[in-house]
Amino acid sequence: DADVTQTPRNRITKTGKRIMLECSQTKGHDRMYWYRQDPGLGLQLIYYSFDVKDINKGEISDGYSVSRQAQAKFSLSLESAIPNQTALYFCATSRASGSNTGELFFGEGSRLTVL
């Protein structure tokens, strides 16, 4: 089984719908992240969490929200999806590494299409 599991792997939805992407991990890492990947661009950080009570905005948090339900679970929500949120979304984890981001371990990705 994968150490970082994302569900769903693929989702097609319509503009205005609420969407939740879920991530669970068995690596025992404290830190979890949500990234977005668009063709031809580098990954962009949406939100990150260093423990259950810690949530931080990344570079592109507008239009997204997150919930850290447990150490092993971190979900990403799109309250009202719009077409330019069509992208590949990745969840990642890392060990605590002081003031820096440690080695990242990624899930398999969730491909979201908003019509």
Chain residues that interact with another protein, rule: CB under 8 A: 4, 40-45, 48, 90, 92, 99-101, 103-109, 111
In whole angstroms, how close is the CB of 12 to another protein at the nearest point? 16
Measuring CA to CA, which residue among 99, 77, 63 is closest to residue 11?
A: 77
Q: Which two tokens stand for residue 59?
A: 């570079």
Q: For another protein, which is the closer residue by CB, 44 or 65?
A: 44
Tell me how far, at minimum, the Cβ of 73 lies from another protein, in Å. 17
Smallest gap from Cβ 113 to another protein, in A, equals 14
Number of residues that this document lists for the chain: 115
Please tell me the distance from the alpha carbon of residue 90 to that of residue 110, in angstroms, as a whole number: 6
The nearer residue to another protein, 63 or 109, going by C-beta atoms, is 109
**35 vs 93: CA distance, rounded Å:** 11
Closer residue to another protein in complex, CB, 49/85: 49
Token reading at 45: 């950080």
